Amino acid sequence: MMKKIGLFGGTFNPPHFGHLLFAQEVLVTFELDEIWFIPVNVPPHKKSDDLASNEDRVDMLVEALKNNEHFHVSTIELERKGPSYTIDTVKQLKQIYTDYQFYFLIGGDMIDYLPKWYRIEELMKLVTFIGVERPGTTIKDSLYSDQVKLIKMIQVDFSSSLIRKRVEEGKPITYMVPTEVELMVKERSLYEPRTSIGKGKTSPY
């Protein structure tokens, strides 16, 4: 049976309501069957020294998505190890799910960088890209911008990096992440500042 699957890759460090809102809007607008959240192992364009562990990020995603039957976590990139390139993930999935149609979700700020993506020409033939068009912003014309389907959504003006910073500063992240994720961040002392001697952590709460 043909299924329409959205692939949402990211660090999800931590997952927040902006991620969930984007995924839900894409699911409904493009009438997809499911959205698969794919936590990356080592993002090629990011440093990995501030990432929570793979286990913690997967656990947070599972908790964040558990009340939506259309949202699922895929650990395909964590199992593969090494740098996470989208082309490798998509090709592997298409070999497993030969009759599925895949869509790939990206933020509007990533559209301009598509020409720099690894093996982008080949990737464009394998998936349909869906990008978010944020209010008050304009997507620049680029080599592949006309091949990306755009969706408008409510502005969510915060990011995972802002959430991590708030935790480090001892500020609440309530209403920015699902309650289960907030509790996990506290219970596991995630994103808290290191002590001056570099060992252990000091709770900001």
The answer on pLDDT for 205 being more than 90 is: no
Residue 19 burial (10 A CB sphere; 0-12, 13-18, 19+): buried
Amino acid at 80: R
Q: What is the rounded average pLDDT for all residues in the chain?
A: 87
What pLDDT, in 10s, does the model give residues 140-187?
A: 566 777 789 999 888 788 899 999 999 999 999 999 999 999 999 999
pLDDT of residue 171: 96
Alpha carbons 35 and 152: distance in angstroms, whole number: 18
User: What is the tens place of the pLDDT at every residue in 3-31?
Assistant: 999 999 999 999 999 999 999 999 999 99
Q: Distance between CA 51 and CA 180 in Å, rounded?
A: 19
Max Cα separation, the chain?
Answer: 57
d(CA 66, CA 161): 23
Domains and CATH numbers, the chain: 3-157 (3.40.50.620)
